[in-house]
Amino acid sequence: ILASTLSLIVYWLIRDSRRVRNLSAKHIFITGCDTRLGNSLAKWLDKRGFCLIAACTTEKGSPELQSCSSLSLKTVNLNLADSNGIARAVVFVTKETAEKGFFGLVSNAKRTAPVARTDWLGIEDFHSVLDVSLLGLTKIILKLLVLLIKAEGAVVKHLISAKGLMTFTGGGYSLSKWGIEDFFDTLQIEMQHFGVKVSIVQHGFFKAGVVNSDIIKKYLRLWNRLTPEIRDSYGEKYFVE
């Protein structure tokens, strides 16, 4: 009983020593807050008192998030495929944090479509995904690193699906995940010098709210734009199955 009691006391002391304090002075910037993981995380951290800056891609994303959050939560529109939009977001974040840096960065924004057989796609299909999920994300993180270095003990996390560890079909989605894996592994090593903690949160699969009819329509559009030679090589039966 004595040993158990002492162990519990030691556990409490260690846990309390690692607890983040003065949350209202801790700025956290999250990308991809329109829906799903980014949206839920922004609401969760806001309720716990952090000073949140939430980046939304769509016009309706910001007002919807602000309507169910505290007044301390700030939003900014961010399209990672737009260099000017990235520059405006960086200026906004710098101004909000009073150039003192911020405590945490959570990158979540991504683009998935189109996903299909490789020879069904053109280079523009790869650009549409990689320009957002890999290059755009890399660009804004590079511009924000100086603010993270200013904040002692800052944390950088990227939410990435298990597709960063496996490939299931052609297109830029899995390719972008593999690229981000390498980018964050490199950051993890290099940012240790400044006390910035970098990690990847690899979540599993979950219901994404995409119905089968939407997926079929996307495949149908890709199929219809193929040349007769490619369609003949697969055959109508292949497409239907």
Please give the structure tokens belonging to residue 180.
Answer: 């981000």
**Unique residue bearing structure tokens 């890709």:** 222
The closest of 151, 213, 137 to 181, measured between CA atoms, is 137
Distance CA 158, CA 149 (A): 17
Enclosing H/E stretch for 181:
helix 172-190
- Catalytic site residue from 11, 173, 219, 234: 173
Q: Could you give the strand order of the β-sheet that contains 51-56, starting from the edge strand earlier in sequence?
A: 74-77, 51-56, 27-30, 104-107, 155-161, 197-203
CB 114 within 8 A of CB 222: yes
- The reply to whether 11 belongs to the active site is no
Catalytic site positions: 173
